[in-house]
Amino acid sequence: MERAMSAHAVIFDLDGVLVTTDELHYCAWKQMADREGIFFDREVNHRLRGVSRMESLAIILEGASRGYSSVERERLADEKNAIYRAALERIGAGEILPGAVETLDGLDAMGVPYAVASSSRNAGLILERTGLRARMSVVVDGNDITRSKPDPQVFLIAAERLGVEPGVCVVVEDAESGVEAGLAAGMRVLGVGPPERVGRAHRVVGSLREIGVSELVEV
C-alpha cells in the first residue's frame, strides 16, 4: 500500500483509554471466578489488561485449585463473555472516559489521523453503543489479529490501514502489555494510568484530560 505523508498519527487502545469497559471486564470475570470458587481480585485483573480473552482466563486459572480441560475453559470464557455482553447492552456515551471526546475533537481540528487498536472481539459493539464508531476511520480489534498484546501486531495493522509509518504513530495505552506492544512496534507511547503499570511509556498521565493534542502528538 502507498503510504501517505503524515507527520503524526495516534492509535488508541479502547478499554480503559477511551471507555470505562475495563471495569465491566473485571466485574464479569469476578462473577465467573466467584462462581467457580477461584480467587480473583483487582491486582490480578491488571494483568488481564490488553491480553486476549483466553489468555486472560489462563491468568485467572493460575489461582485455581484444579486443572481445567480445554472444553471447560471454553465454557468459562463463554460464560464470562455472556455476562460481559449483557453489561455492554446497557452502556452508552456515558461510558466514554473524561478527555476522550475533547482529544478526538482536537485531532480532527489538527487533521491528525487516528485509529482504535484493541485486543477485544467486542470492540465493534462498544464503539457502536458509545457512539464513537462513526468517528473512527480505522478499527483493528481482536477479530483481526492472531497474536495479542504485548505483540505489536494490532498496532502495526492499524498503522498500515491508516497509511502511515509506525515511526510517526503515538500509541495511547492503559495496559502494561499494550505499552510493551507499542514500544515493540517502534511507536511512541503515552501511558494512561499509574506509573507502576504503564511507567515504561515515553510519557505517563492519569487520564486523557491531562494532556492537550499538541503535546499528545509530540509524546
CA distance 126 to 131: 8
Each residue 4-43 as x (binds Mg ion by CB under 5 A) or -, in order, gives: ---------x-xx---------------------------
Q: In the chain, what is the greatest distance between 2 CA atoms, to the nearest angstrom?
A: 55
Residue 179 engages Mg ion in binding (rule: CB under 5 A): no
Min CB(84)–Mg ion separation in Å: 14
What is the amino acid identity at position 27? C
Interface positions, 10-39, toward ligand BG6 (CB under 6 A): 14-15, 25
Decide whether 45 or 213 has the Cβ nearer to ligand BG6: 45
Min CB(137)–ligand BG6 separation in Å: 20
Task: Give yes or no: 13 in active site.
Answer: yes
Question: What nine digits make up the cell of 114?
Answer: 487516528
Task: Give yes or no: 15 in active site.
Answer: yes
Min CB(112)–ligand BG6 separation in Å: 23
Residue 191 engages Mg ion in binding (rule: CB under 5 A): no
The single residue listed with the C-alpha cell 507499542 is 182
Min CB(124)–Mg ion separation in Å: 16
Residue 81 engages ligand BG6 in binding (rule: CB under 6 A): yes
Query: Cβ–Cβ contacts within 10 Å for residue 43, how many?
Result: 7
Burial class (CB in 10 A: 0-12, 13-18, 19+), 197: buried
Candidate ranges 130-138, 143-151, 168-176, 192-200; the one touching Mg ion (CB under 5 A): 168-176
Residue 175 engages Mg ion in binding (rule: CB under 5 A): yes
Output the DSSP codes for 28-82.
Answer: HHHHHHHHHT----HHHHHTTTTS-HHHHHHHHHTT-SS---HHHHHHHHHHHHH
Overall size of the chain counted in residues: 219
Which residues in this chain contact ligand BG6 in the complex, by CB under 6 A?
A: 14-15, 25, 48-53, 56, 81, 118-122, 142, 175
**Which of the residues are catalytic?**
13, 15
